[in-house]
Each structure stands twice: as C-alpha cells, then as structure tokens.
Amino acid sequence: MPIPDPLVIGTRGSELALWQANFVKSQLEAHGHRVDIEVIVTRGDQVLDVPISEIGDEAVFTKELDRALLAGDIHVAVHSLKDLPSRLPSGITLAAIGEREDPGDAFVPHPGVDESLDELPEGAVLATASLRRRAQIKAWRPDIEVVPVRGNVDSRLEKLDDSDWHGMVLAMAGLLRMGLSARIGEAFPKDVMVPAVGQGALGIACASDEHDTADALQSMLHHEATAIAVTAERSFMQTVGGGCQVPTGAFARFNDEEDVVIDGCIAGLDGEEMYRERRVCTPEQASDEARDLAQTLLDAGGAEVLDEIIGDRTSRASFRS
C-alpha cells in the first residue's frame, strides 16, 4: 500500500505536543513528503480536576489518537514516549522512536525564589503531577511538602508564578524543546530522581497494517541508540505494570564502554520505602536485564508497596462514585 499523500499527523493540542508534531513534520517534508497536522483532544486533556494516577487508564493521553489511526482519520501519531502505555493496543505499531532530548527532571523555581535545591528551606513546597516525582522527592527530603498540579507546561508555569510555592518539577526535555531553558533552576541529580520510562523521547506510531508507512517512518525518524535504551525501560514498565499510574522510574543509557546501564526504582508515596537497583549489560541483553531488574524490585518489597497504593486509589474512586 503506498504512503498516503499527504501524510496526516495526529497530535494533542498543547504547545509541546504541537512542537513535537511540527518537528516530525519538518523531518518528513525534508524527505519530500507532504504533511498535514490534525489536533485531537484526549481524555487527559479534558479531565483536569483529577490526578492522572486516579483516572485509572494508562492510555489517558493516547487512546483517542489510537482510534483515529485505526479509523484511518490520521496516518501517524506523534507522542511523548512516556505517555504511551506499556503495551500498545491491537492494530497499532510503534514505527519509530525519535532521538532523545535530556531525559531528566528539572527544578523550576518560583521567580521570587533564589535558593538552589540544596538550599530549599525546611517545609518548602514543590508542585508536581507525577507520583514518581513525589515519591522520590519525599525519599530525598521528607520535610518537603509536595502539592499536585495539572495542565500543560505553559499553564503549570502560570500556576507556579501565581502561587506561593517554592518551585515545580517538570521534564527537562519539554522545557528545552519549548525554548524555556531560562526557567530551569537546575537538574535534579539522577541519583536523587530516576527519570520516567521513555522521558525525553518521541514515539511515532501508525496502524500495524500500514507497512509502507511504518517502513518509511523507521527509515526517516528512528534513532537506534535511543530505541535500545527506551525499549529496555519499557520492558521494566511492562513487568512492573501501571505506567504513570504508579511511582516507578527506569532510566537506561550507554556508558563509555558501549554497555547499557539501567537504573530502576519503585517507591512508596511517602518516600519511606524505596527499592532501587542498577544493572550493566550489553545492548542485546538490555530488555531481559530490565525485566529481571523489575522482578527483583517487586520481590524485594516493591509489589507490596504498589498493591497498597493501587488499593488506596480504588477505595477513593469507590467513595467518590
């Protein structure tokens, strides 16, 4: 089946999502393809008064894009890879993984705050939408108060500026891609905060039966070193389960010897329980090692931590209903 002309890219409507879609559009156009962009509203964009962890759907930012792919309304979906569920739905394939931007987490101080991370006062207030970030902040500094915040990058920054919070934690990649590096106070050290699975990478999906389109996306957009790393991270996530619904992190990267280093963690929301370990392996072993690492952390006590978090969330959802 020939590649559609024009290729229609589906994307969420946030400024960051549009930046990512337009970046992919420019790459495809450089190879001679005509490309249009279609904005699709996802459930995660509509439901802003409930934490993502309590919506109870790993595909909260992707399901509507999947439906559009399967219906043929769009030909390509561009995602922040960390938004993709651990297992893609039937009929959808991850055709290419784009080169990763900085995968870390950034401390974004309130404009009136001069302190570095190490200088934050006792009882400082940091905002984040992520259970992973919350858990690791509390493990690092139990005295810090962590408050929830939702919205796209721009709206979160506006909330920060209008607040009395000391700062906020956001993905480095989004801030850098949107030209907001001036808002970054400093990067969280990765020995303090393990990044989210796939953070900083782009996931480019299409319908599984669109073989020519998938081959073209692979040849034009795929970055193999990034793919090896994030595939290992996603193997970790598949074993743990839950995606961004649970406080877990995994970060894989190449060292100077061209081995793959994998950090994984499972943490309790209050930071008192933290299970973390590192593996070093060959690229060929990376996914298997990541799965084994995840199982090791689950067996060490991580499974009980996650069961308790999921049980509490289920109870709250039942109460609200």
DSSP 292: H
Q: Which fold has domain 7-99+201-222?
A: D-Maltodextrin-Binding Protein; domain 2 (3.40.190)
CATH 3.30.160.40 maps onto the chain at: 238-320
How does 115-130 read in b/e, with b if 16+ C-beta sit within 10 Å?
eebeebeeebbbbbbb
What is the pLDDT, as a whole number, of residue 140? 96
The residue annotated as part of the active site, out of 36, 49, 57, 83, is 83
Residue 229 tokens read as: 């790393």
> Is residue 232 exposed (0-12), middle (13-18) or buried (19+ Cβ within 10 Å)?
buried
Return d(Cα 313, Cα 272) in angstroms, integer.
Answer: 19
Q: Which residue has the higher pLDDT, 4 or 312?
A: 4
| 248 C-beta neighbours (distance < 10 Å), count | 29
User: What would the DSSP string read from start to end of 87-101?
Assistant: SPPTTEEEEEEEPP-
pLDDT at 1: 63
Q: What pLDDT, on the 0 to 100 scale, is given for residue 151?
A: 85
- Is residue 115 within 8 Å of 238, Cβ to Cβ? no
What Cα–Cα distance (Å) separates residue 22 from each residue in 39, 177, 233?
12, 12, 26
**Is a pLDDT exceeding 70 seen at residue 306?**
yes
CA atoms within 13 A on the CB side of 268: 11
Please, what's the b/e burial string for 64-96 (b: 16 or more CB within 10 A of its CB; e: otherwise)?
bbbebbbeeebbbbbbbbbbbbbebeeebbbbb
The residue with tokens 């961004």 is 244
CATH fold for the domain made of 238-320: Double Stranded RNA Binding Domain (3.30.160)
Q: Is 83 a catalytic residue?
A: yes
Query: Percent of the chain, pLDDT > 70?
Result: 89
Which pLDDT score is estimated for 233?
97
Residues of the chain within CATH 3.40.190.10 domain(s) are: 7-99+201-222, 105-187
Q: What is the mean pLDDT of the chain?
A: 90
Domain 105-187: assigned CATH number = 3.40.190.10
Could you report the per-residue pLDDT of 236-270, keeping only the tens digit for each?
999 998 666 689 999 999 999 999 999 999 999 99
What is the tens place of the pLDDT at every residue in 85-141?
A: 888 999 999 999 999 999 999 999 999 999 899 999 999 999 998 999 999 999 999
- Look up residue 26 and give its two tokens: 């420019």
